[in-house]
Amino acid sequence: MNRPTAPTGTPLGDSFHVYDTTLRDGAQREGISYSATDKLAVARLLDSLGVGFIEGGWPGALPKDTEFFARAAAGELELRHAALVAFGATRRAGVAAADDPQVRALLDSQAPVVTLVAKSDRRHIERALRTDVAEAAAMVFDTVRFLVGEGRRVFLDAEHFFDGYAHDPDCALRVLQSAVDAGADVVVLCDTNGGQLPLQLAETVAEVVARTGFRVGIHCQDDTACAVANTVAAVQAGATHVQCTANGYGERTGNADLFAVVGNLVTKLDMPVLPAAALPELTRVSHALAEIANLAPDTHQAYVGSSAFAHKAGLHASAIKVDPELYNHVDPATVGNGMRVLVTEMAGRASLELKGRELGLDLAGRHDALGRAVRRVKELEARGWSFEAADASLELLLRREIDEAETEAPFALESYRVVLDHRADGEVVSEATVRVLVAGERVIATAEGNGPVHALDAALRKALEPALPWLSSVELADYKVRILVEHPGTDAVTRVLVQSSDGEREWTTVGVHGNIVEASWLALCDALVHKALSVREPVG
C-alpha cells in the first residue's frame, strides 16, 4: 500500500490538516442519503479543493460505505490532494483488535488513514459502553497499535471530550494518552453534543495542549450556533487539525461548515490552509455539493451563499459602488462569490468568458455573442435554471450564440404524448409516443418504460437510432429533480439535472419547466445534442 497519508499541494503541508467528514458525519443530516456513486462525486469535488483528508465513511458498519471504499480502491477515485480516511470504532470490550471484524473492515477498506472514535467521558464509558476507564483506555491502545502495526496512519476522535474533560479531566486525558502511546499522531477533541462556547473552548484546548504536548485536532457540532467560531478559536488556541463538513451538514444543527472555517482561517488569520488556486472555487464547489446532497444551497451561508455579498440597503447603494471594500468584510472574488448590487454586465461577461475558456470556447473577440449569452443566462436563471452543475447545457448555450448553425440539433420534435395508467388490477404502465424529424424523415415511435421519463427516453431512442447509431452508446447515468417553490402560493417549477455517459466521459444537462416531464425532455434533448456535437467534431 503506497497511498499518501498526508495532504499534498497546500503551502502548510502536513503541519495543518483540513479534514473533511461530509461523507460520514455530514451524511447524518436529516434528509441526506448518499449512494456510493454520490460519495465518489463528493470526494472528487473535495479533493479538487485541496482538502488534506477525506473521511469516506464507516466500512463494515454501513454497506454503502463498504462499497465506496471498494470502488475507491479499485481505481474509481484518484485523489490529487487528499488522503482517504476510514472511520470506525475501537475494538469491542473483551475482544482482541485483530479478531474484531469491525477493526478488520477498516484494514479491508485499504484506506491509508484510519480515524478511530473512542469515548473519553467517564459517564459514557460507564453508562453507554458499560465498562471501566482502564478497559476503555486498553481498547484505544490495542486498536491503535494494531492498525499502526499494519501500516496505517491513525487519528483518534475523542468523543464528548469537552463534557468529559469538565467532568473528569484525568479520565479524558488518559484516553488521549493511550492513543498517543500506541502511535496515533493526532488526538481530536470532539464537542459531540455541541454545547461549547468559544472562550471556554479555547481555554480548554490551550490547557490540553500545554498539559500533554499532543498534536490536537478539533471537531465541533453547531448546537450553540458556534461551531465555526469554536473551530477557529481552537486553532488560535493551538489545534492544527480541523474536522469540518461541506456546508455544515451534519446531525441535529450540523457541524462546523468547511467553507466558513476555511474562509476565516485564510482571510482573517492569514493561514494558507488550502492551495491558493482553490479559494475562488469555494462557492462553486459548495453549490455543487448541495446539488449532490439534493438540498437547496443556503442562500445566507457565510462566504459562499448567494446573498453573502448582496446589499439591499438603499442608504449605502452609491457609497458601495464607489468603495465596495468599505462594505464587504472580504473581497467576494477571493472565495469565488460576487457582490450582487454590482453585478453589471461586465461582471457577467467576464465570468462567462472565463467559463467559455474552461469549456474550450474562445469568446474573447466575440462581444456580441457574449452579450447575448449573458442576457440569455440571466433570463433563464430568473426562471429557475441553474448552470452551476450543468456544464453541457451551458456549453450548448454559448455555442448557440457563437454559431447557431454549428449547434443545430440532429433532430427536431414535432410532438410527444405520454400516457400513465394505474390499472384496476394494480399494475402501473407508462407509454410514450414521439413524433420527430430526423435525417429528413418524419418518424413516429412508441415505447414503454418504468415511468414517464424512461418511456419518453426509450421512444426517442427508438425513433432516432436508425439514423443516429452512435446514440446506443449514451446512457442516462443519473437523474436529479428539484422542485423550486420560490414563494408559497405561487406555482412551483421543476428543475431536472440529467447526467449522461458514453462509457468514456460524463456530461450534465439541465431542464426547467412547470411540468416535470417537459423539464426532463429538455434536459434529455440537450444531452443528446451535446453528444451529437462531439461525434461531429471529435476532441483529442
Taking the complex as a whole, how short is the minimal distance between the CB of residue 349 and its own copies, in angstroms? 18
Count of residues engaged in binding its own copies, rule: CB under 8 A: 114
Q: Interface residues for its own copies in 49-68 (CB under 8 A)?
A: 62
Tell me how far the alpha carbon of residue 225 is from its chain's centroid: 22
Interface with its own copies, residue 359, by CB under 8 A: no
Q: Interface residues for its own copies in 137-176 (CB under 8 A)?
A: 160
Q: Interface residues for its own copies in 175-204 (CB under 8 A)?
A: 193-195, 197-199, 202
Interface with its own copies, residue 323, by CB under 8 A: yes
User: Which residue in the set 15, 472, 473, 515 belongs to the binding site for its own copies (CB under 8 A)?
Assistant: 515
Contact 258, 26 (CB under 8 A): no
Burial of 207 (0-12, 13-18, 19+ CB in 10 A): middle
CA 304-305-309 angle, 5° bins: 90
Between helix 169-181 and helix 133-149 the angle, nearest 10°, is 20
Task: Tell the residue number behind the cell numbers 458499560, with chain if given.
Answer: 130
Sign, Cα dihedral of 95, 100, 102, 107: positive
Interface with its own copies, residue 416, by CB under 8 A: yes
Interface with its own copies, residue 419, by CB under 8 A: yes
For the sheet containing 506-513, what is the strand order? Answer: 475-484, 493-501, 506-513
User: Which residue in the set 417, 442, 505, 536 belongs to the binding site for its own copies (CB under 8 A)?
Assistant: 417
Amino acid symbol at 425: D
Task: Tell the residue number behind the cell numbers 445566507, with chain if given.
Answer: 300
Interface with its own copies, residue 102, by CB under 8 A: no
Taking the complex as a whole, how short is the minimal distance between the CB of residue 509 and its own copies, in angstroms? 15
Task: Report the distance separating Cα 153 and Cα 132, nearest Å.
Answer: 27
Tell me how far the alpha carbon of residue 327 is from its chain's centroid: 30
Interface with its own copies, residue 341, by CB under 8 A: no
Interface with its own copies, residue 257, by CB under 8 A: yes
Instruction: Name every residue whose Cβ is closer than 8 Å to that of residue 409 and which is 6 or more positions away in sequence.
Output: 525, 528, 529, 532
Taking the complex as a whole, how short is the minimal distance between the CB of residue 346 and its own copies, in angstroms? 8
Q: Which is nearer to its own copies, 181 or 475 (CB)?
A: 475
Q: How many other C-beta atoms are found inside a 10 Å radius of the C-beta of residue 230? A: 28
Question: Which range binds its own copies by CB under 8 A, 12-20, 90-98, 445-453, 528-536?
Answer: 445-453
User: Which residue in the set 342, 409, 443, 467 belongs to the binding site for its own copies (CB under 8 A)?
Assistant: 342
Question: Which range binds its own copies by CB under 8 A, 7-15, 315-323, 458-466, 532-540?
Answer: 315-323
Cell of 198: 468559544
Interface with its own copies, residue 252, by CB under 8 A: yes
Q: Interface residues for its own copies in 111-140 (CB under 8 A)?
A: 121, 123-124, 127-128
Contact 213, 180 (CB under 8 A): no
Interface with its own copies, residue 29, by CB under 8 A: yes
Amino acid symbol at 330: V
Cell of 355: 467559463
Interface with its own copies, residue 74, by CB under 8 A: no
Task: Tell the residue number behind the cell numbers 469540518, with chain if given.
Answer: 244
Question: Which range binds its own copies by CB under 8 A, 207-215, 356-364, 459-467, 479-487?
Answer: 479-487
Half-sphere exposure of 159 (CA within 13 A, CB side): 18
Interface with its own copies, residue 402, by CB under 8 A: no
Interface with its own copies, residue 451, by CB under 8 A: yes
Q: Which is nearer to its own copies, 160 or 530 (CB)?
A: 160
Half-sphere exposure of 187 (CA within 13 A, CB side): 31
Interface with its own copies, residue 308, by CB under 8 A: yes
User: Which residue in the set 11, 15, 33, 358 belongs to the binding site for its own copies (CB under 8 A)?
Assistant: 33
Contact 528, 413 (CB under 8 A): no
Q: Which is nearer to its own copies, 365 or 489 (CB)?
A: 489
Q: Interface residues for its own copies in 199-238 (CB under 8 A)?
A: 199, 202, 222-226, 228-230, 232-233, 236
Taking the complex as a whole, how short is the minimal distance between the CB of residue 292 and its own copies, in angstroms? 12
Task: Report the distance separating Cα 289 and Cα 297, nearest Å.
Answer: 9
Interface with its own copies, residue 444, by CB under 8 A: no
